Amino acid sequence: MVYKKYERHIPVCLECGDQIRYGRADKKFCCDECRTRNYNDKARKSRASKRRVMNALSRNYEILDNLIKADVDSADMLSLASMGFMPSFMTSFRKCGKHDECSCFDIRYIMTGTRIYSISKIENFD
Ligand SMILES: [Zn+2]
């Protein structure tokens, strides 16, 4: 007769990797310190990624705003890229007929693969 040894699955702490030898089977951390550290790391990463997006949007906005102030309503992607414009960051997007209409806060523009044009302020933007 063969007796199979019963092997209990021992969970490991998501923060330090130590085995969690007691407590509920779905426990994720070995101690409060690990739980807190994990929460703080996640919160810090989340804040950092929001900051990156907000910085990109602010930079784009400043570039677009400067173009409007200079009476320029169109620019090619290469020039925009050299100014630091990041085309994938915008606050809204919609297909408008054959065009891709984008906006960065209260500035609207149409984007193609090679340029943006019709850069203008949205009237009555709230
Ligand atoms: Zn731990």
SS3 content of the chain, % helix, strand, coil (to 5): 35, 20, 40
Strand partners, 102: 93, 109
Report the separation in Å between the CA atom of 15 and the middle of ligand 1, taken as the mean of its atom positions. Answer: 5
Whole-structure pTM value: 0.77
Distance from Cα 6 to the centre of ligand 1, integer Å: 25
Give just the sign of the alpha carbon dihedral 113, 118, 119, 122.
negative
Sequence-separated (6 or more) residues with CB below 8 Å from residue 121: 68, 106, 107, 108
Give 79 Cα–ligand 1 centroid separation in angstroms. 50
> What pLDDT is recorded for position 7?
58
Q: Which residue has the higher pLDDT, 123 or 48?
A: 48
CA–centroid distance, 49 to ligand 1, in Å, is 25
CA 45 to centroid of ligand 1, rounded, Å: 19
Q: Which of 103, 111, 19, 10 is nearest to 57 (CA)?
A: 103
pLDDT one-digit tens code per residue, 29-79: 999 999 999 999 999 999 999 999 999 999 999 999 999 999 999 999 999
